[in-house]
A and B are shown apart, each in its own frame.
Chain A
Amino acid sequence: MNSQQLFALAPIITVAGTAIAVMLGIAVRRNFILSFSIAAIGIIASMIALGIVWRESPIQATLLLRMDAYALFYMALLLSAGLAVLGLCYDYFKAREGENEELPLLLLTALLGGAVLACSSHFASFFIGLETLSISLFVLIGYPLNQARPLEAAIKYLILSGVSSAFLLMGMAFIYAQCGELYFNDIGRYMASRQEIDVTILSAIILIVAGLGFKLSLIPFHLWTPDVYEGAPAPITAFVATVSKGAVFALLLRYFISTESYAYPPLLNTLSCIAGLSILGGNLLALLQNNVKRLLAYSSIAHMGYLMVGFIAGGSIPSAWVVESVTFYLLAYFITTIGAFGVVSVLSTPDMEADDLSEYRGLFWRRPWLAAVFTLMLLSLAGIPLTAGFIGKFYIFTDAADGGLWGLLAAVIVGSGLGLYYYLRIVIVMSMSLKATEIKPAYDWVSAVLLAVLTIALIWFGVYPNLLVDVIQSLA
Chain B
Amino acid sequence: MILPMLICVLLLGGFIAFISERWSQDAPRWMGVITLIAEALFLTLPLSWAEYADGLSPVWLADFHGPWIPRFGIGFHLVMDGLSLLLITLTVLLGFMAVSSSWTEINNRQGFFFFNLLACLAGTVGVFLAVDLFLFFFFWELMIIPMYFLISIWGHEHRTYAAAKFFIFTQVSSLLMLTAIIALVLIRHDKVGSYSFDYFDLLDTTLEPEAAFWLMLGFFVAFTVKLPAVPFHTWLPDAHTQAPTGGSVILAGVMLKTGAYGLLRFVIPLFPDAAHRFAPVAMTLGVVSVLYAAIMAFAQSDLKRLIAYTSVSHMGFILLGVFSWNLFALQGSVITMLAHGISAAALFMIAGALQERLHTREMDKMGGFWTVLPGLSVLTLFFSLASLGLPGLANFIGEFLVLQGAFSVNRVLTIAAAVVLILAPVYALIVMQKAFYGPLRWSAPLPDAGRREWASLGLLVLIAVWLGLGPQAVLNISEPAVKNSIAMERG
| A interface with B by C-beta (< 8 Å) | 365, 379, 382, 384-386, 390, 394, 397-398, 401-402, 409, 412-414, 416-417, 420-421, 424-425, 427-428, 431, 464-466, 469-470, 473
In the complex, chain B residues whose CB is within 8 Å of the CB of A394 = 134, 178, 182
Please determine whether B172 and A417 come into contact, CB atoms closer than 8 angstroms. yes
Please determine whether B142 and A416 come into contact, CB atoms closer than 8 angstroms. no
The 8 A CB mask of B79-111 against A (1 = contact, 0 = none) is 000000000000000000000000000000100
- Distance in angstroms from B239 CB to nearest chain A CB is 14
In the complex, chain B residues whose CB is within 8 Å of the CB of A382 = 171
Rounded to whole angstroms, the CA-CA distance of A71 and B308 in the bound complex is 56
Please determine whether B69 and A417 come into contact, CB atoms closer than 8 angstroms. no
Please determine whether A431 and B70 come into contact, CB atoms closer than 8 angstroms. no
Cross-chain pairs A/B with CB under 8 angstroms, 5 sampled: A385-B137, A413-B175, A420-B168, A428-B164, A470-B71
Of all chain A residues, the one with the shortest Cβ separation from B148 is: A424
In the complex, chain B residues whose CB is within 8 Å of the CB of A397 = 175, 178-179, 182
Please determine whether A428 and B160 come into contact, CB atoms closer than 8 angstroms. yes
Please determine whether A416 and B175 come into contact, CB atoms closer than 8 angstroms. yes
Name which of A385, A390, A409, A420 has the most chain B CB atoms within 10 A of its CB: A385
| B interface with A by C-beta (< 8 Å) | 68-71, 109, 134, 137-138, 141-142, 145, 148-149, 152-153, 160, 163-164, 167-168, 171-172, 175-176, 178-179, 182-183, 186
In the complex, chain B residues whose CB is within 8 Å of the CB of A386 = 138, 142
Rounded to whole angstroms, the CA-CA distance of A302 and B33 in the bound complex is 44
Please determine whether A424 and B186 come into contact, CB atoms closer than 8 angstroms. no
Please determine whether B145 and A417 come into contact, CB atoms closer than 8 angstroms. no
Instruction: Choose from B70, B137, B168, B182 the contact partner of A417 (Cβ within 8 Å).
Output: B168
Please determine whether B186 and A402 come into contact, CB atoms closer than 8 angstroms. yes
Rounded to whole angstroms, the CA-CA distance of A464 and B67 in the bound complex is 11
Instruction: Choose from B160, B164, B186 the contact partner of A401 (Cβ within 8 Å).
Output: B186
Q: A428-B152, A431-B152, A465-B69 are in contact. Are A413 and B164 (CB under 8 A)?
A: no
Please determine whether A379 and B145 come into contact, CB atoms closer than 8 angstroms. yes
Please determine whether B182 and A401 come into contact, CB atoms closer than 8 angstroms. yes
Please determine whether B179 and A413 come into contact, CB atoms closer than 8 angstroms. yes
Rounded to whole angstroms, the CA-CA distance of A5 and B178 in the bound complex is 46
Rounded to whole angstroms, the CA-CA distance of A104 and B149 in the bound complex is 41
Rounded to whole angstroms, the CA-CA distance of A431 and B134 in the bound complex is 31
Rounded to whole angstroms, the CA-CA distance of A414 and B176 in the bound complex is 10
Please determine whether B69 and A384 come into contact, CB atoms closer than 8 angstroms. no
- Interface of chain A: mostly helix, strand, loop or mixed: helix
Q: A379-B145, A417-B168 are in contact. Are A469 and B69 (CB under 8 A)?
A: yes
- Given A385-B138, A413-B176, A421-B164, 5 more A-B residue pairs with CB atoms under 8 Å apart are A397-B175, A397-B182, A416-B171, A424-B167, A431-B153
- Distance in angstroms from A159 CB to nearest chain B CB is 39
- Interface of chain B: mostly helix, strand, loop or mixed: helix
Rounded to whole angstroms, the CA-CA distance of A412 and B149 in the bound complex is 25
- Distance in angstroms from B144 CB to nearest chain A CB is 8
Rounded to whole angstroms, the CA-CA distance of A425 and B145 in the bound complex is 14
Rounded to whole angstroms, the CA-CA distance of A412 and B179 in the bound complex is 11
- Distance in angstroms from A405 CB to nearest chain B CB is 11
In the complex, chain B residues whose CB is within 8 Å of the CB of A398 = 182, 186
Rounded to whole angstroms, the CA-CA distance of A416 and B149 in the bound complex is 19
Instruction: Choose from B149, B171, B172 the contact partner of A431 (Cβ within 8 Å).
Output: B149
In the complex, chain A residues whose CB is within 8 Å of the CB of B69 = 465-466, 469
In the complex, chain B residues whose CB is within 8 Å of the CB of A401 = 179, 182-183, 186
In the complex, chain B residues whose CB is within 8 Å of the CB of A424 = 148, 152, 163-164, 167
In the complex, chain A residues whose CB is within 8 Å of the CB of B178 = 394, 397
Please determine whether A421 and B168 come into contact, CB atoms closer than 8 angstroms. yes
Rounded to whole angstroms, the CA-CA distance of A168 and B455 in the bound complex is 75
Please determine whether A416 and B172 come into contact, CB atoms closer than 8 angstroms. yes
- Distance in angstroms from A86 CB to nearest chain B CB is 33
Of all chain B residues, the one with the shortest Cβ separation from A462 is: B138
In the complex, chain A residues whose CB is within 8 Å of the CB of B71 = 466, 469-470, 473
In the complex, chain B residues whose CB is within 8 Å of the CB of A466 = 68-71
Rounded to whole angstroms, the CA-CA distance of A466 and B138 in the bound complex is 16
Please determine whether A384 and B141 come into contact, CB atoms closer than 8 angstroms. yes
Of all chain B residues, the one with the shortest Cβ separation from A466 is: B69
Of all chain B residues, the one with the shortest Cβ separation from A391 is: B69
In the complex, chain A residues whose CB is within 8 Å of the CB of B168 = 417, 420-421
- Distance in angstroms from A271 CB to nearest chain B CB is 21
Of all chain A residues, the one with the shortest Cβ separation from B185 is: A398
Rounded to whole angstroms, the CA-CA distance of A466 and B74 in the bound complex is 11
In the complex, chain B residues whose CB is within 8 Å of the CB of A473 = 71
The 5 closest A-B pairs by CB, nearest first: A417-B172, A385-B141, A413-B175, A401-B182, A385-B138
- Distance in angstroms from B158 CB to nearest chain A CB is 12
Rounded to whole angstroms, the CA-CA distance of A431 and B145 in the bound complex is 14
Please determine whether B163 and A428 come into contact, CB atoms closer than 8 angstroms. yes
Rounded to whole angstroms, the CA-CA distance of A425 and B178 in the bound complex is 24
Of all chain A residues, the one with the shortest Cβ separation from B180 is: A401
Please determine whether B167 and A420 come into contact, CB atoms closer than 8 angstroms. yes
In the complex, chain A residues whose CB is within 8 Å of the CB of B160 = 428
Q: A401-B186, A473-B71 are in contact. Are A413 and B142 (CB under 8 A)?
A: no
In the complex, chain B residues whose CB is within 8 Å of the CB of A379 = 145
Instruction: Choose from A385, A431, A470 the contact partner of B142 (Cβ within 8 Å).
Output: A385
In the complex, chain A residues whose CB is within 8 Å of the CB of B163 = 424, 428
Rounded to whole angstroms, the CA-CA distance of A417 and B176 in the bound complex is 11
Rounded to whole angstroms, the CA-CA distance of A209 and B68 in the bound complex is 38
Name which of A417, A425, A470 has the most chain B CB atoms within 10 A of its CB: A417
In the complex, chain B residues whose CB is within 8 Å of the CB of A385 = 137-138, 141-142
Rounded to whole angstroms, the CA-CA distance of A314 and B160 in the bound complex is 41
Rounded to whole angstroms, the CA-CA distance of A386 and B171 in the bound complex is 15
In the complex, chain B residues whose CB is within 8 Å of the CB of A421 = 164, 168
- Distance in angstroms from A449 CB to nearest chain B CB is 22
Of all chain B residues, the one with the shortest Cβ separation from A433 is: B108
- Distance in angstroms from A458 CB to nearest chain B CB is 15
In the complex, chain B residues whose CB is within 8 Å of the CB of A365 = 109
Rounded to whole angstroms, the CA-CA distance of A465 and B72 in the bound complex is 11
